[in-house]
Structure 1
Amino acid sequence: MGIVSKQASISAALSYTGVLIGFVNVTLLMTQWFTEEQFGLRETLLSVAVFSSQIAHLGTFRSLVKFAPFFNREGNNDNGLLAIGLIVPFIGFLVVGLLMVLFKPLIISKYIDESPLFVEYFWFVFPLLFFFMYSNVFESYLQSRANTAFSVFIRTVFNRLVTTALLVLYYFQFIDFFWFIVFFIFSYALNILLFILYLVKRNEFNLRLNKQLFNKRVRRVYYNYSSFSILSGASSVLINRIDALMISSLLGLASTAIYGNALYLAMLIHIPGESISRISLPLISRSWKKKRIGEIESIYKKTSVTQFLLGGAVFILVWASLDNFYTIQGKDYYLGKWVFFIIALAKLINLLFGANGHIINVSKYYRFDTTTAIILGVLTVTTNLLFIPIWGIEGAAIATASTIVVFNLIRFIFVYIKLKIQPFSVKTILVLFILAIAFGVNEFLPFWKNIYFDTVYRSLILGVLIALPAYFLRVSDDINAFIEKHLGLLKK
């Protein structure tokens, strides 16, 4: 089965459609219609919700995928896996919510000076956390059943279209900013409703727990894995989200807005990896269950070269026209240019190392990833505390990027030592060579005064420089197969 399968290609198409919508929402509409403080508040609320949910779900996100092959034995019957996935996070939500209430004075003291607007909206964190967490639970459940297209549509397309509608209502003054935040939070509740209706329609909404299957021994293994997943997942999110939270605390919401805008642009590079990752994770889980290391190595290599090629192409195309884009945005958002470059390179390196994290997390070595993630989480906080006061938002980018690179190096070395597999090949060198040439050519292309024409002509030239050699050198069998399949359909 090719990595760029039907599900992966649909997910990728939906992801990029969602990226386009999100691109308009975040980098064009919000930057123009919101003040920098309002934009920064939304980013901060989301960062708090994302990080808190990684603790509150108590390892459910990963456990649903890890144990799906064990529970899914009778067609659509999951033997109560979904029921477990709904009950456990609720307990976690109550615990995290209580801790946030108890530590509210401390939290407020960290934000009151630089980000008073966040203090004003502090209580909005709780419903956002609840709905965001359960939306992700259902998404993980669908992923565990190798059904990613619908969940990707809801999260990346539908949810962002709702945000677009709310922004239009805000612009025409049908709602104020307060109600925008309220409706934005409840858009995640709408996600949950649609997930439930979808599962009911497919006869997959089963809440009856098979107690014989989920016996004492299985419960011990499940909860043990989940407990380690809490720390690993929270640390991973901490690495990717603590920068925005610390910028809000140390520099203010306006700086968070500039950083968040650059970060969103950098996230474009990771979309190919997300689409392929959703498909590769259940495949790796099944292969590990059957002890087929050869299959895992094949997936490892395919994900690496495919992600690196696609992500590298996106990086070069965005970097080539970044100045043009900042000209359109105006305000102070151009100050995030080097934040984009630093984070984008780290994201690209993350794609290059392929599915190392998935391989560790579904294997018997998952405890190692947890321990490493905790150490690197502490390193991220420390480096942000040191670098932000010195270099501002660029310091936060350097801290986060450094941690991402170190994290991947450690994972890569560990997987190689334990399983004797690695993701690189001659094709990796070919992709690196193709991308390096395209990056270099961009530096010599003349600039045109018309920024729109300049963007189009750069994109066309660089796109051809990457696509043609990549296709004819067959650096990614999956991409070639995908192209040839659709070219064949066009000929018919």
Structure 2
Amino acid sequence: MGIVLNQSLKNTIITYLGFGVGAINTLYLYPVFLGATYYAVANYILSAANVIMPLFAIGMQNTLVKYYTQYKTEEERERFLSFTVLFPLLLCIPLGLIGLFYYDDIVYFVSKKNPVVNEFIWLIPFIGLCMAYFEIFYAWARVHMHSVFGNFIKEVGLRIFSLLALIAVYYKWITVVDFVYVTAGIYFLALIVTMWYAFRIKQPNFQFTIPQNVKEILEYTFYIILSGSVANLLLDGDKIMLNQYMLIDNIAYYSVATYIALVISVPSRAMHQIVYPITARLMHEDKHDELNELYKKTSINLQVVGGFVMLCIFVNINQMYELVPKEYSGGIVVVFMIGISKYFDLILGNNNAIIFNSKYYRMVLFLGLFLVFLTIALNMFFIPRYGILGSAFATLLSITLYSLAKLLFVVKRMHLYPFTKETVSSIVLTTAVFVAFYFWEFPMYPLIAITLKSILVTIVYLYLNYKFKISPEINGVLDTIYKRIKKN
């Protein structure tokens, strides 16, 4: 776990730094500087781009990680790298032609409830393509065990440039309309920088040749496209559905709530960057016991870290919403519903990496497709009746069912088990700390109240986790920190 803990810790710090910048943007700058309408427009464009991104990447970021280590010679690896970069371009052409042919129909369908999105529709495929190739070049770096820089660009760089663009709006150097276009430019810049970094790690030697196992690769890629679309629809599909049924301002209210809840999933995102290729290697080498041990370690470590983040959010949620305009306050319940779904997904550890690198990925995909249809149906039912709360409930139900299905599949089919007795202990401990602190509020300025309560939660939570030895790895990290402090 050495390299996992090392790079995961760096990625976690970077990701939380990015979420800190993002919190400033989301809780204050976006609502105040852009207003609800154009904040919602920018968010909708990015969400739609993220949903179609797997079609442009055609799953090559996952395919690259799965198959790269299986090639034995440098020539085979260079041929494979070339294929993963060049092949998606061939499929982007027909997708672009289809988009042009049906452009008027697409614009009418998307903008019939909110005409304000009309002029920005073409940005969706552009940003989607940038996102797709960013992920491919990021995977290029990850297979060479360099995950930190790409994570910095993705989590911190994008948000810092968005922060600068928001400042430009404040000083009226650009308009709120210009901001949407600048956002597209930021994603293009992220792509260029990541491509440059990937090429520095491994100098490209592009070859217009096809790998020998191309049939196997394309079959795997086809299923990964669909599974990636499933995951992204579960993540951003609710915002797209809100645009079809409600005034677009509601996307802004919903986005603030979901952003706060998504902070809970940061540890999983950070660890996933380095655990994914290790999982692929262990499965390729058929090291079942090592994989099972890794599964358990990632599960409990993510549960402890994610539980801490969830606690800090939940016990401070009322004070957090005192920092945003009052019209956003209806999202507090959304935070709880989305947050709980993210926590459950978090404690599954490297479940996704195991599934995507196994021979059973096809069957799980079909289950995911069913759940996408379920999500759409639930949103269509609940949004007209309950607004953003209905959308949040539909997301909670869908993600929980999807996560539970994946867990049962891995347990039954592959005989891998993520949970231990510490799993139950951690849930009980987290619940007890939540009950102890949620109803205790400091009558002072929200930021000061949040800081004080978070410090107290941190002390109590770390002490109890250490005392009951929930995670040996985290206890080891705390012991190391204590020894260094004591030595100084």
TM-score class normalised by the smaller sequence:
over 0.9
In structure 2, C-alpha distance between the alignment counterparts of 1:150 and 1:411, rounded to whole Å: 30
Match of 2:25 in 1: 25
Q: Which moved more, 1:250-259 or 1:353-362?
A: 353-362
SS of the residue aligned with 2:77?
coil
CA contact under 8 A between 1:474 and 1:480: conserved in structure 2? yes
Structure 2 vs 1, CA of residues 478 and 91 (structure 1 numbering), >3 Å: closer, same or farther?
A: farther
Match of 2:124 in 1: 125
Match of 1:151 in 2: 150
Residues 253-300 of structure 1: per-residue CA shift (max 9 Å, x gap): 100000011110011000011111112111110000100111111111
In structure 1, C-alpha distance between the alignment counterparts of 2:458 and 2:99, rounded to whole Å: 48
In structure 2, C-alpha distance between the alignment counterparts of 1:354 and 1:3, rounded to whole Å: 17
In structure 1, C-alpha distance between the alignment counterparts of 2:106 and 2:382, rounded to whole Å: 21
Match of 1:451 in 2: 446
In structure 2, C-alpha distance between the alignment counterparts of 1:77 and 1:486, rounded to whole Å: 44
Task: Return the offset for 1:77.
Answer: 8.4
Q: Does 1:441 align with 2:440?
A: no
CA contact under 8 A between 2:59 and 2:221: conserved in structure 1? yes
Report matched runs for 1:61-460 at 5 Å.
61-71=61-71, 73-74=73-74, 78-202=77-201, 204-209=202-207, 211=209, 214-215=211-212, 218-460=213-455
In structure 1, C-alpha distance between the alignment counterparts of 2:395 and 2:205, rounded to whole Å: 40
Match of 1:487 in 2: 482
In structure 1, C-alpha distance between the alignment counterparts of 2:325 and 2:204, rounded to whole Å: 51
CA contact under 8 A between 1:269 and 1:315: conserved in structure 2? yes
Amino acid at match of 2:420: S
Aligned-pair Cα RMSD in Å: 1.9
Task: Return the offset for 1:384.
Answer: 0.7
SS of the residue aligned with 1:357?
helix
In structure 1, C-alpha distance between the alignment counterparts of 2:416 and 2:274, rounded to whole Å: 20
Residues 195-224 of structure 1: per-residue CA shift (max 9 Å, x gap): 23223433x032334958x21xx1111111
CA contact under 8 A between 1:12 and 1:275: conserved in structure 2? yes
Structure 1: stretches of 5+ with no match in the other structure: none
Task: Return the offset for 1:481.
Answer: 2.4
In structure 2, C-alpha distance between the alignment counterparts of 1:4 and 1:86, rounded to whole Å: 27
Structure 2: stretches of 5+ with no match in the other structure: none
Match of 2:37 in 1: 37
Residues 405-447 of structure 1: per-residue CA shift (max 9 Å, x gap): 1111111111111121211101101111210111110234244
Residues 11-55 of structure 1: per-residue CA shift (max 9 Å, x gap): 111111111111111221111111211000011100111011112
TM-score (norm 2): 0.95
Amino acid at match of 2:80: L
SS of the residue aligned with 1:146?
coil
In structure 1, C-alpha distance between the alignment counterparts of 2:420 and 2:28, rounded to whole Å: 40
Match of 1:9 in 2: 9
In structure 2, C-alpha distance between the alignment counterparts of 1:441 and 1:3, rounded to whole Å: 36
CA contact under 8 A between 1:50 and 1:129: conserved in structure 2? yes
Structure 2 vs 1, CA of residues 80 and 22 (structure 1 numbering), >3 Å: closer, same or farther?
A: farther
Match of 1:477 among 460, 472, 486: 472
Structure 2 vs 1, CA of residues 186 and 412 (structure 1 numbering), >3 Å: closer, same or farther?
A: same
Structure 2 vs 1, CA of residues 105 and 28 (structure 1 numbering), >3 Å: closer, same or farther?
A: same
In structure 2, C-alpha distance between the alignment counterparts of 1:474 and 1:210, rounded to whole Å: 54
CA contact under 8 A between 1:167 and 1:180: conserved in structure 2? yes
Amino acid at match of 1:358: A
TM-score (norm 1): 0.94
Structure 2 vs 1, CA of residues 102 and 399 (structure 1 numbering), >3 Å: closer, same or farther?
A: farther
Amino acid at match of 2:446: I
How many residue pairs are counted as aligned between the two chains? Answer: 487
In structure 1, C-alpha distance between the alignment counterparts of 2:274 and 2:200, rounded to whole Å: 23
Task: Return the offset for 1:82.
Answer: 2.7
In structure 2, C-alpha distance between the alignment counterparts of 1:307 and 1:96, rounded to whole Å: 38
Q: Which moved more, 1:103-112 or 1:50-59?
A: 103-112
Structure 2 vs 1, CA of residues 329 and 380 (structure 1 numbering), >3 Å: closer, same or farther?
A: same
Residues 331-367 of structure 1: per-residue CA shift (max 9 Å, x gap): 4111111111100000001012222221111011111
In structure 2, C-alpha distance between the alignment counterparts of 1:152 and 1:85, rounded to whole Å: 20
Task: Return the offset for 1:304.
Answer: 1.1
Q: Which moved more, 1:192-201 or 1:296-305?
A: 192-201
In structure 1, C-alpha distance between the alignment counterparts of 2:375 and 2:3, rounded to whole Å: 32
Task: Return the offset for 1:73.
Answer: 4.5
Report matched runs for 1:51-70 at 5 Å.
51-70=51-70
